[in-house]
Structure 1
């Protein structure tokens, strides 16, 4: 039986011949070179030739030629929370356009894992980092910037910017929480409790909650603010504790949707009707909000748009098109009314 001869690796020259273009044109398309205008018909012909020939770009050669890794690191606190896959999807929409890959790091919102992720990103070499950091601050991220690795953070509020090229995108969480609680008050609710977690965006959302109650002259027991994990289980536990308090709340504002859904589960387990006996409102607008019963009223942050904007800011840094100092970019939010409140 004769040995099979290994198949020769398909080259850019092969793709160029098949597409009837120059090798330089193939390179422009592969590298996402924006300085050269490639007609869409030509670009598609090149992509079709690549697929037909089974062309696989030589990442190592490309890295040596350009001193880039064509990889972006994305640091998130909880891959199981549907908010973050949608955020990363937005990031990937933009990285794909630039011919980049995404490497994801899950930290579970722990300080030690955030530090480990930063260390791994330095060792693994990436061209930029997009991250959600509950513990690491600008000083901790400076080591990446010193190695010319730009960073874009998703933050819970505007951050002070300086000379460091550290960019932030954020939703005004205090304002969003104020609108959420004001909506519940407009619906006639007066005993409004809150479920939250301490790290990350939970703190500004509590500030918005408290300031709105004060603005409307409403006072609540201190126990009406219950702290637990940003998970279904955490929301259910916190809701169970709330239901032991007298007078019982007639509405609950949860600092994320998973907690809100957990709260609905706990109410149902006690035979309570949502929203008739107790209204429940969340924060994030994850996909499951539409299918839970009752469908969840919440605050939408348009997480895919957040990811896309973060990646756009990052590539402005990578391509040398950004200002020297850091930037703050505020993103929109919206109250989404469904059945739970």
Structure 2
């Protein structure tokens, strides 16, 4: 009969038997229990034997005993997981890992058929990148979770502002463009973000004395950019501010297929400074935002809630900056 490959988990009792000491002493060492008078020599012996035997802590039992899972659950809006959002999450995950916490992301969907992940994981903290949807806070609290960010009992009055579109329009205006259009994304998941950036661009154009900007939302799965560009060119548009680099890339591709030279005939500026912006030809002028700093800020907020650390008093410098490349130039001039 073949030998079973199943191996039993090494326990603290196994370590105690191997060393001939009490199970309590081993438990105090492995759990780093404060207030115990255990010699450095005994502590070293326990840790060495635990390593030799292949001991691994039982996560569920440790969580039950301590009341902590060392899990932070980040609730994401139902947005496309684009480059900047991934970079934001990766940086927050790294910062939390350095402090001994695992960051797990969860995206609730409108169908709402799946069991909320906070019920399954029992995280130490649930935090969201956007305001809570109706019913979410009640569901989280019903699961016994008390640490919630943003704090539903003390909502902030801060409003999200978009500086990037303002820089886009100012840049094109400074180059001499007076007929500027705005290209959004037709993805319904980002409709609110598109609306926010379009509004900021419209206000910037009005402040500079420009005519109201023609605007269209583009599908990135077809060639809808082509007819839009043709209509804008008939209206005399010489420059386009795009919702993001993906939309800007679609416009560059459509212009190339239509024989419209970028930036000689048409300047295009993106937003987000993704790798795509530097890989396209011509390289994209775009807007850079410090998403890495924002990820670290989220991690600091989480640690202040679960460990009683001082809360970060100032958000990271999120001021957008212009990255000028070859896709923008004065009207009818080479860069």
| TM-score, normalised by the number of residues in structure 1 | 0.71
> What SS class does the counterpart of residue 224 from structure 2 fall into?
helix
The aligned runs of 1:79-118 (5 Å cut-off) are 80-106=81-107, 112=110
Aligned pair in 2 of structure 1 residues 200, 99: CA closer, same or farther (>3 Å)? farther
Distance, in Å, in 2 between the alignment partners of 1:310 and 1:240 is 42
User: How far apart are the structure 1 equivalents of 2:283 and 2:49?
Assistant: 47
C-alpha distance in 2 between matches for 1:50 and 1:181: 63
Partner of 2:228: 241
Answer whether contact 1:191 1:249 (CA < 8 A) is retained: yes
Displacement of 1:152: 4.1
For structure 1, list consecutive stretches of 5 or more residues without a partner in the other structure. 34-45, 154-161
* Residues 137 and 152, structure 2, Cα contact 8 Å, conserved in 1: no
Tell me, in whole angstroms, the C-alpha distance in 1 between the residues paired with 2:123 and 2:261. Answer: 50
SS in 1 for 2:325: coil
Provide structure 2 residue ranges, at least 5 long, that are not aligned to the other structure.
19-25, 35-45, 329-335
Partner of 1:72: 72
Q: Secondary structure at the match of 2:192?
A: coil
Corresponding residue of 1:129: 126
**What is the rounded CA distance, in whole Å, between the counterparts of 2:47 and 2:325 in structure 1?**
44
Select 1:142's aligned residue among 137, 144, 166: 137
SS of residue matched to 2:256: helix
- 8 A Cα contact 1:171 1:331, kept in partner: no
Question: How large is the RMSD of aligned CA atoms in angstroms?
Answer: 4.0
8 Å CA contact 1:76, 1:84 repeated in 2: no
> Comparing both chains, which one has the higher relative contact order based on Cα–Cα distances under 8 Å and sequence gaps of 6 or more?
1
Q: Structure 1 residue 47: deviation in Å?
A: 11
The number of residues matched between the two structures is: 300
Q: For the structure 1 residues 55 and 91, does the alpha-carbon distance in structure 2 shift closer, same or farther, using more than 3 Å as the test? A: farther
Secondary structure of the corresponding residue to residue 72 of structure 1: strand
Q: Contact 2:206–2:212 (CA<8 Å) still a contact in 1?
A: no
Match of 2:170 in 1: 182
Inter-partner Cα distance in structure 2 for 1:48 and 1:90? 33
Instruction: Name the CA shift for 1:189/1:168 in 2 (closer, same or farther; >3 Å).
Output: same
Separation in 2, partners of 1:295, 1:312? 35
Partner of 1:40: none
Note closer, same or farther for the CA distance 1:88–1:48 as it changes in structure 2 (3 Å cut).
farther
How far does residue 217 in structure 1 lie from its aligned partner after superposition? Answer: 1.0
Query: Aligned pair in 2 of structure 1 residues 5, 123: CA closer, same or farther (>3 Å)?
Result: closer
Q: CA deviation at 1:267?
A: 1.4
CA distance in 2, matches of 1:8, 1:148: 33
Q: How high is the TM-score relative to the length of structure 2?
A: 0.72
Equivalent in the alignment of 1:213: 205
Specify the structure having the higher radius of gyration (Cα). Answer: 2
Counterpart secondary structure, 1:201: helix
Mapping of residues 21-36 of structure 1, within 5 Å: 27=31
Whole-angstrom distance in 2 between the partners of 1:47 and 1:334: 51
Write out per-residue CA displacement over residues 321-341 of structure 1, whole angstroms, 9 at most, x where no aligned residue. 467xxx994641222222222
Q: Deviations over 1:178-198 (max 9, x none)?
A: 122101111122211112246
Which residue of structure 1 aligns with residue 161 of structure 2?
172
